[in-house]
Amino acid sequence: MKKEFLFSVVVMVFCCVLTAQPVSAQSPPPQKQMPPLLLQQPAPAPLPPANPPVPAPPGLVPPSPPAPGIPVVCAVPAAELLRNLQRAVATVRELNRLMRPGKVWVSRGPSGELEVKAGILYQGIAIGVLRINPENGSILPLGIMPCRFGETTAGLQSVKAALQPVFNRLKILPYAEFIEPESCWSFPLVLDNRIVARVKIYFDGVHVMQDAGANREMLFYGR
């Protein structure tokens, strides 16, 4: 009996040692998840028509055929879109502290005018662009383009050096409009009292949308 009792005690101690975990091996608390980035906008799944088209009466022009695919505002109820807007506002508030300055580049506008731009980065991808005055390196509000056709007097190195303090003052306002062709919410990005860019959140209110044009220019011409 004593041998059986001692054997039982040894087995219990051995099982306790195996199941015990040191404090260092415990998993750390989960980190707050960053908003996901949308590199390519997925097309909404087409839905079958609710009713078959009715033939036009004689003497009248028949209606035009529907465009391929169904717009988001038709496929998603308005109440759901408005709920998604609340999620989009929460996403841009989180995005405020995650934007970083990107590369700076010089390009030409449609009439040959000089354009100086800087990328707005999130996770290393351009989600917008800042337009810079080629005469003095200041950030321009949307809609103003100086008609300068010669060389820029604002050096790119000095522009890049001044970007980080600018990003410390940039803020996305929590006021949006819906852009149907891109199926997204558009939020103004402000510097002091000027709207200098726009940031887009996909209609689900969760995904931050890439600015494909700005990202392509930055990769080709950015310094």
How many angstroms separate the CA atoms of 208 and 34, rounded? 10
Which bin fits 32, alpha (ψ -120 to 50), beta or left (φ > 0)?
A: beta
Tokens of residue 24, six digits: 């260092």
Q: What is the mean pLDDT of residues 141-148?
A: 82
- Over residues 6-58, the pLDDT tens digits come to 555 555 555 554 454 444 445 555 566 788 888 754 444 555 555 554 444 44
- Over residues 85-141, the pLDDT tens digits come to 999 999 999 999 999 999 999 887 777 778 889 999 999 999 999 999 888 888 999
Residue 86, in any domain of the structure: yes
Domain count of the chain? 1
Quickly state the pLDDT bin for 215 (edges 50, 70, 90).
very high
Residue 66, in any domain of the structure: no
Residue 175, in any domain of the structure: yes
pLDDT at position 155 is 77
Q: Collect all residues with Cβ–Cβ distance below 8 Å to 22 and sequence separation of at least 6.
A: none
- Over residues 147-196, the pLDDT tens digits come to 666 666 567 888 888 899 999 999 999 999 999 888 899 999 999 999 99
pLDDT at position 29 is 55
How many angstroms separate the CA atoms of 32 and 188, rounded? 25
Q: What is the domain extent for residue 115?
A: 78-221
- 184 and 68 in contact (C-beta within 8 Å)? no
How many angstroms separate the CA atoms of 214 and 199, rounded? 12
pLDDT at position 108 is 76
